[in-house]
Amino acid sequence: MIQRASRRTCIAFYFACLPLALTGCSDRPPKSDRVWLDLAEEVWHQGGNVTTDLISAPRKVGLDNLGYGWTQVHPDNPARANLEMNQQIARLFLFSADGDAEALEIEISAVGKGRLKQVPLTLLLNGEPLTGLPLTRKWRRHRVEIPSDIVRLGRNLLEFRFPQPTKSPRWPRRLRPRVRSLEVFTANGRRLWSERPASIYLVSDPGCSPDRSEIRMPSPGWLEVVTDLPERARLRASFRVQHPPGAGNEPVLVYGRLLDQRLEEHHLAQERVTDSDKDHDFDIDLRAWQGQSVRLRLGVGGSGNAVVSWHWAVVEGPAGTDRRDDIEPIRRVQAPASGRLGRPDILVILLDAARADAFSPFGGARPTPAIEQLAADGTRFESALASSSWTGQSVSSILTGFFPDTLGVGPWGSHLPSGIETLAELLTRVGYRTVLWTQHPFYKQQADLKRGFQEIYRPAFQDYTTLPSSSQLMTDQEPTFAFVHLMPPHAPYTPPAPYRGSYGSWYTGPVEPKATLLNRLSNRRDLGGLTEDDRRYIRDRYDENVAFADAQVGTLLSMLDSAGRYDSTLVILLSDHGEAFLEHGRYLHTRTLHREMLHVPLVVKWPVTVADFEAKVAESVSLVDLVPTLVDGLAIPEKQGGYQGRSLLPVVFDSTSRQEPLWATTRGVASYQQPPRPQHMLQAGPWKLLFDPLTGDSQLYQIERDPAETQDLAGELPLRTLLLRQALQRQVVSNRDLLQEASVPGPIEALDTELQDQLEALGYVN
């Protein structure tokens, strides 16, 4: 949080809540089933839909990336407090409740080694350049005008760009900008953040009922909730206007508005208030919209520093009415412990970047016989989704049972919370021999993902023909858990003979589909230089690599069969994410969460002692379900209070239907040196929402009718979109707060030169 602490020093890193004394208690509506929606319950998660005047500064953990690229310096000393850039691009978010910001004043200087004249600091707002500012060693204040056509109502993205010469020293020695104060001015001259509350927040009043929380809302600001109204609905609210000591009683406009499903806005009530310490009430009949999806907004306007305290604000309905629109967050749930799988050997085979529809059991046009046979012997999950679209975040989820943003996992070098047991640690604890065998180089850097593995094997980089030996996969002394991470079909699509050329020998063009080329193509807006033959050839080369991956799976399964261990072994085949071929304008993966990047093969071949399982599961499941499934099937004593994943055994053996939504997230890039381009995905019932927290853009798909996600319905169904976005924001906050009791992940580790070169060859680092 950045706000004005004094006229000269305007940076503080906390929410400043102006002390406001309240007198007396307004009676809350009778506590009964008639209170159908309490708007106070919506404040905590509504970061995307609650807006007032504030700037978001860096968080120490989590993936919201609201303050990427900054280091806080002297945060506890207002006279010296400042922010230093620690990347070439840094971000802050400013919220403008009225969308009327017209200028900003910023005080900057430079520190570190480098030449000042050649390196201006560039400011952009919502992607549009504002100005370039010269840097000096001394603090200088600059005023920057903001064109009215680039300011958004609500959240705005403010970016600072400071390109560095390639030969300059690394942070923190290199030249870097510092920001000491930042003030934004509106059209009426009012500073957006001054010495007053800077956010909508909840406060409990000790003099009133213990279950009562007030909503305190500075002017200007608003809270909106999207909901389906019950019969005989009423909006009732009680509020009081508070002015800070010494301030004049400037008029404050308090209002309630409704947007109906025809997108017509209705002014429900408004009151212009000048007094303080006097209660006012709204009692609004909403029966005209009962049964409809609506957006309700409670707001405060005015140029002064007033704060409106909503003693209560509720929607009432008839007794016993349930809310139909609730999408509850995916919380931590204790895994069952049925023990129905016994204690078999376990072989998990992960094929990197394997999209499901490239394999014949999942509708692929070209044969993959090994995986087809595996699916015939077990259960095929027809709609398994990864929890991220790139390896670092997805594998962290697979091995822990938590979502990446819950874990605080971002770029390469991220740590897991030490209080979370990995799958290998769980199995080691109950007597398994644990083996990690990987062709992917990133385990060299991701030390936490190796926790619990007693034996680790890694062939030479890009040696994809070497496979584990039988002694590495099995032993007679104890049950073995082997996690085998194979790179194919991940780019570069260069399988050995006889797979190389089996589908693409017809091509005579110039394209060689290396990861670096496909990455560059994905970053270009114009792909017109590619012909249809080029595009077909790139996909043919991927399918050749899929055939090679299938053959490797066949070799591993034959090894088990030759040792007489195939029938008794629990074999799980999956992928960490899919691969894109311009379905939504991109190659490879990482950047978005469309189906081609999340839908992966998932096949489980059960031990021979297990019977009566479903041969296929059509409903959607998540790879975050792997750990709780094994905890359930092996009856592992579980110490940490549950997982966000759910055991799949009730689905497979008891035909139990899952009701939970599905979640995925991506940071967008793998390297900490690149500014994140995050995206979130929430799938609930027939609906799928993609949300970009940088731009605020949403995409809505009806996946039962449009599984390829070709028709974005966000424009046609704005209230449905806002309803899902509300649930998505609830999940973001729930994930961020879920593991607060676990230890905070350690700092991100820098990549060594060798690993960085290897990841660049795989398309991860540009």
pLDDT tens-place string over residues 411-448: 777 889 888 999 999 999 999 999 999 999 888 877 88
* CA pair distance 74, 233, nearest whole angstrom: 51
Q: How many degrees, rounded to 5, is the angle at CA 664 between CA 662 and CA 669?
A: 175
DSSP summary character for residue 461:
T
| Residues whose CB falls within 8 Å of the CB of residue 398, separated by 6 or more in sequence, listed in order | 350, 387, 423, 574, 576, 623, 624, 626, 627
Poorest-pLDDT segment among 350-359, 435-444, 479-488, 526-535? 526-535
Structure tokens of 291? Answer: 């049964």
pLDDT reading at 48 higher than 80? no
Kindly state the average pLDDT of the residues 385-394: 94
Average pLDDT over residues 320-342: 85
- Residue 526's pLDDT band, with cuts at 50, 70 and 90, is low
Q: Looking at residue 414, what DSSP letter applies?
A: -
| CA terminus-to-terminus distance, the chain | 32
Tell me the average pLDDT across 349-366: 97
Least Cα distance to 366 among 554, 544, 549, 604 occurs for 544
Delimit the domains of the chain by residue range: 35-51+196-316, 54-186, 346-652
pLDDT for the residue numbered 652: 96
Please state which of the four CATH numbers 3.40.720.10, 1.10.3720.10, 3.65.10.10, 1.20.200.10 is assigned to the domain occupying 346-652.
3.40.720.10
The pLDDT value recorded for residue 212 is 63
Q: Which of 4-8, 184-188, 698-702 has the highest mean pLDDT?
A: 698-702
**What is the sign, positive or negative, of the torsion defined by CA atoms of 144, 150, 151, 156?**
negative
Give the separation between CA 708 and CA 702, rounded to whole angstroms. Answer: 10
The per-residue pLDDT for 632 is 97
Q: How far apart are CA 688 and CA 702, in angstroms?
A: 6
Pairing state of beta strands 221-228 and 121-125?
A: unpaired
Please state the length of the chain: 766
In sequence order, the 6+-apart residues with CB closer than 8 A to the CB of 358 are: 364, 366, 368, 489, 542, 543, 546, 579
On the question of pLDDT at 61 being above 50, the answer is no
Give the C-alpha separation, 169 to 257, whole Å: 55
Residues 186 and 400: their CA atoms lie apart, in Å, by: 47
pLDDT recorded at residue 759: 74
In the sheet with 128-133, reading across from the earlier edge strand, the strands are: 54-56, 89-96, 154-161, 121-125, 128-133
The token duo for 687 is 């609906």
What is the Cα–Cα distance from 19 to 310, expressed in whole angstroms? 16
DSSP string, 77-120: -TTT-EEEE-SSEEEEEEEESSS-EEEEEEEEEEESBS-STT-P
Q: How many whole angstroms separate alpha carbon 755 and alpha carbon 758? A: 5
Instruction: Assign 65 a pLDDT band (cuts: 50, 70, 90).
Output: very low
Contact assessment for residue 54 and residue 193, using Cβ atoms and an 8 Å cutoff? yes
Give the closest residue to 408 by CA, choosing from 749, 739, 168, 1: 739
**Structure tokens, 113:** 């080694």
Which pLDDT score, from 0 to 100, does residue 672 have? 64
Q: Could you say which DSSP state residue 548 is in?
A: H
Summarize the confidence of residues 352-367 as an average pLDDT: 96
* CA–CA dist 239, 25 (Å, integer): 11
Say how far apart CA 401 and CA 407 lie, in whole Å.
Answer: 10
Segment among 292-301, 533-542, 557-566, 745-754 with least mean pLDDT: 745-754
**What is the number of helices (H) and of strands (E) in the chain?**
13, 36
Q: What share of the chain is helix, strand, coil (3-state, %, to 5)?
A: 20, 30, 50
Q: Name which of 87, 93, 68 is nearest 163 in CA terms.
A: 87
- What are the phi and psi torsion angles at 512 (to 5°)? -120, 105
Main-chain dihedrals φ then ψ at residue 443, nearest 5 degrees: -65, -20
Q: Are the beta carbons of 566 and 557 closer than 8 angstroms?
A: yes
Domain 54-186 = CATH 2.60.120.260 = yes
CATH topology of domain 35-51+196-316: Jelly Rolls (2.60.120)
Which residues have a Cβ under 8 Å from the Cβ of 403 and sit 6 or more positions away? 330, 387, 397, 624, 644, 663, 664, 665, 735
Residue with tokens 């970053």: 523
Q: Where is 377: in which H helix or E strand? A: helix 369-377
Kindly provide the residue ranges of all beta strands, DSSP E only, lying in 514-584, ordered along the sequence: 570-575, 580-581
The three-state secondary structure class of 518 is: helix
Cα–Cα dist 732/665, whole Å: 10
Q: How far apart are CA 401 and CA 390, in angstroms?
A: 16
pLDDT of residue 214: 87
Phi, psi of 572 (to 5 degrees): -125, 120
Residues 394 and 387 sit within 8 Å (Cβ to Cβ): yes
Nearest of 673, 652, 677 to residue 665 by alpha carbon: 677
pLDDT at 200: 77
Residue 209 has pLDDT above 70, yes or no: no
Place of tokens 């009566």: 612
Which runs of E-coded beta strand occur in 287-390?
Answer: 293-301, 307-316, 346-351, 379-385
Which residue in this structure is represented by tokens 């500073």?
A: 191
Do domains 35-51+196-316 and 54-186 share one topology? The answer is: yes
Q: Which residue has the higher pLDDT, 23 or 389?
A: 389
Q: What is the pLDDT of residues 449-462, one digit of tens each?
A: 999 999 999 999 88
Q: What is the mean pLDDT of residues 469-494?
A: 94
Average pLDDT for 232-242:
92
Predicted pLDDT of residue 125:
95
Residue 70 — very low, low, confident or very high, per pLDDT cuts 50/70/90?
confident
Structure tokens at 27: 């009676």
- Averaged pLDDT of the chain: 85
User: Poorest-confidence range of 14-23, 46-55, 639-648?
Assistant: 14-23
Q: Are 389 and 623 in contact (CB under 8 A)?
A: no
Tokens 């016994």 correspond to 342
The pLDDT tens digits for 669-728 are 766 667 788 999 999 999 999 999 888 899 999 999 999 999 999 999 999 999 999 999
CA 25 to CA 9: how far, in whole Å?
A: 38
Which pLDDT score is estimated for 203? 79
Q: Are 391 and 576 in contact (CB under 8 A)?
A: yes
- Our CA angle for 609, 611, 614, nearest 5°, is 140
Q: Is 662 left (phi over 0), alpha (psi -120 to 50) or beta?
A: beta
The mean per-residue pLDDT over the stretch 126-133 comes to: 93
Judged against a pLDDT cut of 70, whether residue 500 lies above it is answered with yes
Q: Please state whether beta strands 234-242 and 307-316 pair in parallel, antiparallel, or not at all (unpaired).
A: antiparallel
Q: Which residue has the higher pLDDT, 20 or 414?
A: 414
The predicted model gives 331-354 an average pLDDT of 96
The stretch 449-477 carries a mean pLDDT of: 92
pLDDT in tens, 139-166: 999 999 999 899 988 888 899 998 765 4
pLDDT exceeds cutoff 80 at 49: no
- Say what the pLDDT of residue 439 is: 94
Amino acid identity, position 580: A
The helix or strand, by DSSP H or E, that contains position 455, with its residue range, turns out to be strand 455-457
CB 546 within 8 A of CB 358: yes
By C-alpha distance, which of 331, 357, 301, 268 is closest to 599?
Answer: 357
* Cα separations in angstroms, 523 against 163, 519, 766: 19, 6, 10
Residue 562 backbone dihedrals phi, psi, to 5 degrees: -65, -30
